Chain A
Amino acid sequence: MSEPLVRVRGLSKRFGANTVLDGIDLDVARGSVAVVLGPSGSGKSTLLRTVNHLEKPDAGFVEVDGEIIGYRCEGAHLRELSDRAITRQRSRIGMVFQQFNLFPHKTALENVLEGQLAAGVRRRAAETRGRELLDRVGLADRERSYPRQMSGGQQQRVAIARALAVEPELMLFDEPTSALDPEMVGEVLGVMKDLARTGMTMIVVTHEIGFAREVADQVVFLDDGRLVEAGPPGDVLVSPTHERARAFLSAVL
């Protein structure tokens, strides 16, 4: 097996007295899709947010493409990187949020431009790429629409195009369909499936078991901050060994 793109080792995080992540170990192979399942409050989102340093770990580390995220190892110390270095690391990791978080004062196309302009891409080139991406998520005709003028499903597709615009090597999805009306879930999952087919490495937090079964190369199950089950969907979804995972899956299936 080739070197994994993402390596998580001994990752722990607490908020006050509450331990949210407790010694997580995880590898995500290049070009593969990892789906993270678990009951709410099990630490799924926090795990995802630690991968691009929106949360700082209390112990352990996340490594993407051989680089530790957010820190520099100096002998016995992990020193936090400068804002600029962290910004550079983040620009290689795309993220899609549950609440979309599109910029409401910018049109669909302007949203897709923002990350590219920050990365120093010329406006003309950024616009060309932005239109391509909007076309790819099926929204070529909405480039001048503001987020409030679009449905939730459309907004989330713009958010995916926005994250892809900076040409990330890893995409993080934090419950991308949880805030959507049921009829719009399909269009967003469709875009994500297309993306997986192009060989994008993805970590997806979701409750869509069907998506996990169909697209995931690896399903991991978190419970109370611990990774209790990991493996191919055929194993984890069909015959989970951990009791909590069994109970959760029988409840959602």
Chain B
Amino acid sequence: MSVDEAVRGRPLLAREGDEQVLGARLVARRKPGQWISAVLALLVVAGIVKSLVTNPRYHWDVVGAFFLRPSILDGLVLTLWLTAAVLVSSYLLGIVLAVMRLSANPVLSSVSAVYIWFFRSVPPLLQLLFWFQMASLYPQISLGIPFLEPFVTIETAHLFSGLLAAFVGLTFDIAAFAAEIIRGGLVSVEAGQTEAAKALGLSKARIFWRIVLPQAMPAIIPASGNLLIGLLKGTSIVSVIAVQDLLYSVQLIYAQNYLVIPLLLVATIWYLILVTVLSTIQFFVERYYARGKGARTGFWRLWRGQLPLVPRSRPRRDLEVL
């Protein structure tokens, strides 16, 4: 009778060689596929870097010379404030559309639905051209009640500059997408929250701005970040109607000196910088609205180990292919 049997009152089968197995060290399976693919990936990266550095036709000296040119910086400023203006106006409009869409009033809800359907369907470039050509469609715009004498009348030709066409077109386009994102966030807030706020004697507006919207933000921000990045880059379509944004300022220069590639690189680098800044801001805004969910706060604790340029992703061993 072994010791085990005596102690636990049940027989255990001992086999020769058990000692050796128990004493052996565990060795994980090698993953040659991962090694090979990692080396290949590195080779590709090295190839790209080498050609970027050694190919003289990139003209890095020209890139450096034009990078901070006043006309390009002016274009950059226009791109930035057009993005900011469109962002603010389209989200205000988007909030109104989302609230209308959720209204029990069938007219409000349908008007919002049709708006979203229409402006999500029309390409922004096409819309931009339409607004730019507004004068040929409506030579005059009158404000007033249909079928009655108008209050004011404006000549459309004086109204729609390229910049205004860009602002209006992009706002209408982004607002349609923003409305859907906001609606999704609003419906994610429990009905009990509104009831508790009502019972406390909060007004409707106060309930919306202080209770419902802040709780909808965690659902709204990630998708809005993508939309905003899309918008920032999307503003470059205004170059087709001769609005001097970042891209068009670059095009104006290479139309004269024919240094197309280095000047396109100038614009590329600026867009990279802008989107990086936006992604970083998005990262912190997301964290801010995650408060109360046990999220960490404090700059360095947040920053540590994070590369907020693209959405974060933990390694997922269950999805491993290589």
Contact = CB atoms under 8 A, between A and B. Distances in A.
A103 B192 contact: no
A203 to B, nearest CB: 13
Nearest to B291: A105
A118 B200 contact: yes
A146 interface: yes
Contact of B199 (A103, A119, A163): A163
Interface string A129-154: 00000000000000000111100000
Interface stretch (A31-39, A86-94, A223-231): A86-94
B241 interface: no
Given A97-B192, A97-B196, A105-B215, A115 B292 contact: no
Contacts, number: 80
A214 B103 CA distance: 46
A114 B202 contact: yes
Contacts of A159: 196
Chain A, interface size category, equals 20 to 34
B294 to A, nearest CB: 6
A118 B215 contact: no
Given A101-B192, A105-B215, A148-B293, A91 B200 contact: yes
B291 A115 contact: no
Residue from B190, B199, B203, B292 whose CB has the most chain A CB atoms within 10 Å: B199
A26 B202 CA distance: 28
Query: What is the predominant secondary structure among interface residues of chain B facing chain A?
Result: helix
Contacts of B292: 104-107, 146-148
B211 A103 contact: yes
Given A104-B292, A105-B215, A118-B206, A99 B192 contact: yes
Interface string A188-209: 0000000000000000000000
A132 B236 CA distance: 57
A54 interface: yes
A162 interface: yes
Contacts of A95: 196, 199
Contact of B198 (A54, A148, A163): A54
B25 interface: no
B296 interface: no
Interface residues of B, number: 23
A245 interface: no
Contact of A101 (B195, B289, B291): B195
B201 interface: yes
A95 B194 CA distance: 13
B291 A146 contact: yes
Interface in A158-179: 159, 162-163, 166, 172
Contact of B294 (A87, A90, A148, A162): A148
Contacts of A99: 192
B193 interface: yes
Residue from A87, A107, A149, A172 whose CB has the most chain B CB atoms within 10 Å: A87
A52 interface: yes
B201 A118 contact: yes
Given A99-B192, A101-B192, A105-B214, A91 B201 contact: yes
A189 B1 CA distance: 62
Contact of A103 (B196, B198, B203): B196
Contacts of B210: 114
B195 A115 contact: no
A156 to B, nearest CB: 12
B105 to A, nearest CB: 15
A115 B215 contact: no
Nearest to A114: B200
B57 interface: no
B204 A83 contact: yes
Given A115-B201, A148-B292, A101 B214 contact: no
Interface string A11-41: 0000000000000000000000000000000
A54 B294 contact: no
Residue from B190, B201, B203 whose CB has the most chain A CB atoms within 10 Å: B201
A77 interface: no
Contact of A115 (B200, B214, B294): B200
11 contacts: A52-B199, A83-B204, A87-B201, A90-B198, A90-B201, A91-B200, A101-B195, A105-B215, A118-B200, A148-B293, A163-B200
Interface of A: 52, 54, 83-84, 87-88, 90-95, 97, 99, 101-107, 114-115, 118-119, 146-149, 159, 162-163, 166, 172
By Cβ-Cβ distance, the 5 closest A-B pairs, closest first, are A91-B201, A101-B196, A115-B200, A95-B199, A146-B292
Given A99-B192, A148-B294, 8 more contacts: A87-B203, A97-B199, A104-B292, A107-B292, A115-B201, A118-B200, A118-B206, A148-B293
